[in-house]
Amino acid sequence: MLINLSIQNIAVIEKANADFSDGFNILTGETGAGKSILIDSLSMVLGMRTSRDLIRSGADFAFVTALFSDSIDLEEFDIAPEEDGSLYLSRRLSRDGKNICKINSQTVPLSTLKAVGERLVTIHGQHENISLLKPSCHLSILDEYAQCATLHSAYLDAYKKAIEAEEKLSALLANEGEREEKLESLKASIDEITATSPVEGEDEALAEKRDSLRNYSAIMAALEGVSGALSLPGSAKDLLYDAMRDGEKAASMDKALEDISSRISDLYYNCEDVASEINSVISRMSFSPYELDEVEDRLDKITRLKKKYGPTLSEVLSNLEAWNEEYGALLFYEDNIAGAEKALDEAQSEMLRLGEELHSVRRAAAEKLSSSIKDELSFLEMPRSDFKIEFTPHAPSPEGLYGAEFMLSTNPSEEVRPLTRIASGGEMSRIMLALKSALSDCGDVGVLLFDEIDSGVSGKAAIKIAQKLKSLSEKRQIICITHLPQMASKADSHLLIEKDTSTDSFRTNVTVLDYEGRVNELTRLIAGGAETSAARLAAIEMLTEQ
């Protein structure tokens, strides 16, 4: 249940605060007092799309908060519940378009705020009457009543698989004319790479070996220089040997010099090891111009492959693997076609099976929903109406195998026809209310808000709409904006929205009316603003009959 809605800097309103109660809440007020702005504000805090134009002129931001007495399961959103079980939503919209959204003081993305908001409140505005005229919306309404989301999801998965299977087969068939040419081209590339048989990393190893062979003379001269400096008489090794002996002699006389002596010994033996290793390398090294030619020739072949099929050797080898697979697929083309055709048949069969099962569930739900709506329309002063849901088969689509359209007849002598050709504004309001009433047990949304659901009706029809909303409020919290006294008189809580012009800034006050306040407001609604004794007596009578 919505307990409080607080808004700041929305449209022409600087501040407004509204408290709601359980049951049937009515909002009334003069035209321009700000009733529609409250709807826009609630939509904003529920995460719906909001224009920055909604921010009050001269203000840098708009801010809305909504407090609900009970929460929903927030575990899937990783949001901690409040200890008292309440739920607090807020949204701050800046002129730069930045949103700051919070749930229970935890910052969340706008998408999360919207997902939570959709589970809390359903807003019915005038645009829904327009959408009700669109057959494209009828199937989703029926599905809500049938509660077949799981089955529809399974059908949709099957539909996607059938589309994918069809596209795969089409791609294979489209390549039939180019198959021989493609086979020839792939074989030439595969043979060229295979003839060289490159190995991963081989080009780098060959380049390193080529550089070594090219610089053989310089490398040998340098190594021999190192060997001479370390091994010839009077070399560094001989000098280190003398130093080691002197160090050992000094250490034998002074133990404090043992560390220095040990380090000199390490230098000598390291020098001896290096000299030995250098001489071993020199003895093993050899140069063959033929080997250099072979390395350069091999490297040249790999370089050409890289330029043609690379640019890296890794990519050449990766392409070779992919082309071998494609070549095999084309080589066994007929088998692949047969496999793709079989996969398509299986996917289409599953799609059609689930599509017919979905249609069967929808058809059964349509009969119950049609009967329920006819009963509701009869109560709402349309007793001679006939309502049906007609199905039309069409090619498989994401929605199913059949389209659905709401049909209506308001005269027993006439056949049912599409809503768009039958219903007036007042009738559309009652049809929408009949739908909402029929669907009231299907969802978990606890708050239903109606923006002038009574538009275009009066007299007995208005009374019946009020009675129906009153009945719905036994299961859900109902909030309704109205201009009709018949509606306002049935409220459990009556909120008056009015302008405060006592200051320079525009303020909207939302007041929960007591009995006397309700009498005064009903009198205004009855008399059209001019208070008369007759209107006041009528207002009192309406409240007495509630």
**pLDDT per position as a tens digit, 248-291:** 888 888 888 888 888 988 888 888 888 888 878 777 777 666 77
Mean pLDDT along residues 462-491: 88
Q: Look at residues 50, 29, 60, 42 and name the one whose alpha carbon lies nearest to residue 3.
A: 42
320 pLDDT exceeds 80? yes
DSSP 80: P
Share of the chain above pLDDT 90, in %: 30
For the ranges 76-80, 183-187, 287-291, 465-469, the lowest mean pLDDT is seen at 287-291
Mean of per-residue pLDDT scores for the chain:
85
Mean pLDDT along residues 356-360: 96
Q: Look at residues 128, 136, 153 and name the one whose alpha carbon lies nearest to residue 403.
A: 136
Provide the whole-model pTM.
0.64
Model confidence at 159, pLDDT cuts 50, 70, 90, reads: very high
pLDDT of residue 126: 61
Query: Between these two residues, 81 and 62, which has the higher pLDDT value?
Result: 62
Query: Between these two residues, 333 and 543, which has the higher pLDDT value?
Result: 543
Query: Between these two residues, 38 and 348, which has the higher pLDDT value?
Result: 348
pLDDT of residue 529: 67
CB 377 within 8 A of CB 406: no
For the ranges 5-14, 185-194, 285-294, 322-331, the lowest mean pLDDT is seen at 285-294
Alpha-carbon torsion 327, 329, 335, 337, what sign? negative
Taken in order of first residue, the domains within the chain and their CATH numbers are 1-133+443-513 (3.40.50.300), 180-331 (no CATH)
For the ranges 32-41, 278-287, 370-379, the lowest mean pLDDT is seen at 278-287
Q: To which H or E segment does residue 420 belong?
A: none
pLDDT in tens, 193-251: 999 888 898 888 888 888 777 777 677 777 777 777 777 777 777 788 788 888 888 88
Model confidence at 506, pLDDT cuts 50, 70, 90, reads: low
Q: Look at residues 109, 30, 138 and name the one whose alpha carbon lies nearest to residue 509.
A: 30
Q: What is the CA radius of gyration of the chain?
A: 43
Mean pLDDT along residues 516-529: 88
- The listed range with the strongest mean pLDDT (50-64, 79-93, 297-311, 393-407) is 393-407
DSSP 411: S
pLDDT of residue 458: 74
pLDDT of residue 176: 65
pLDDT of residue 122: 84
Question: Residue 497 to residues 135, 509, 514: CA-CA distances in angstroms?
Answer: 37, 6, 14
pLDDT of residue 181: 79
Q: To which H or E segment does residue 192 belong?
A: helix 179-196
3-state helix, strand, coil in the chain (%, to 5): 60, 20, 25
Question: Residue 2 to residues 25, 39, 87, 121, 452: CA-CA distances in angstroms?
Answer: 11, 13, 9, 9, 19
What lies within 8 Å, CB to CB, of 512 at 6+ separation is: 19, 21, 493, 494, 495
For the ranges 141-145, 497-501, 515-519, the lowest mean pLDDT is seen at 497-501
C-alpha 210/C-alpha 197 separation (Å) is 19
16 pLDDT exceeds 90? no
How many CB atoms within 10 Å of residue 403?
Answer: 16
pLDDT of residue 91: 95
CB 36 within 8 A of CB 65: no
Model confidence at 405, pLDDT cuts 50, 70, 90, reads: very high
Helix (H, G, I), strand (E, B), or coil: what is residue 227? helix
31 pLDDT exceeds 80? no
Quote the Cα angle for 393-399-403, to 5°: 30
pLDDT of residue 218: 75
